[in-house]
Amino acid sequence: MKKILFLCLISLSINTQALDTNKLINLNDLNILFDFKKNDWNENVLFLIKKNSFTKVDNESDTFYLKSIFKDGEIITMPIFSNSIVEKIIFEYIFLDQNKENLKIIKDHFNSFINFCFEYLYYNKSIQVVISKCN
């Protein structure tokens, strides 16, 4: 069941406008991502990279990162694990054409989630959202 929900979450980001707030991750999907164990996450990524719109991002970690491609850029989902439990998740939104409004839309969307803490990092063509559970 988790795999199906995860696939639904990721499929929403394919070939869409990244900042259509109806297409951004919702609170239920975020909770599901935080419930993943490292092995489950890696297995799901290996399954998804067989699809043309997903790729595994190479990194120096034993955790796979997932890249989803959409019309105006891409999103990289990077879970950070501690003892096989998700400690935080980083979403990196990479845009072909970046503007300051994208940061406002993303902040407004994520700041509406309760029980989660967010850090936003703004770069030339990307925005990173670092998400952790607040205690």
pLDDT tens digits, one per residue of 78-110:
899 999 899 999 999 988 876 778 888 889 999
CB 20: neighbour CB atoms within 10 A?
A: 11
Q: Cα torsion for 88, 36, 85, 43, to the nearest 10°?
A: -110
Burial class (CB in 10 A: 0-12, 13-18, 19+), 7: middle
Separation of alpha carbons 69 and 129, rounded Å: 17
pLDDT tens digits, one per residue of 49-75:
655 556 556 666 778 788 887 777 888
pLDDT tens digits, one per residue of 27-44:
888 888 898 888 888 777
Quote the tokens at residue 86. 């998700």
pLDDT of residue 52: 54
Report field, pTM of the whole predicted structure over 0.85: no
End-to-end CA distance of the chain: 27
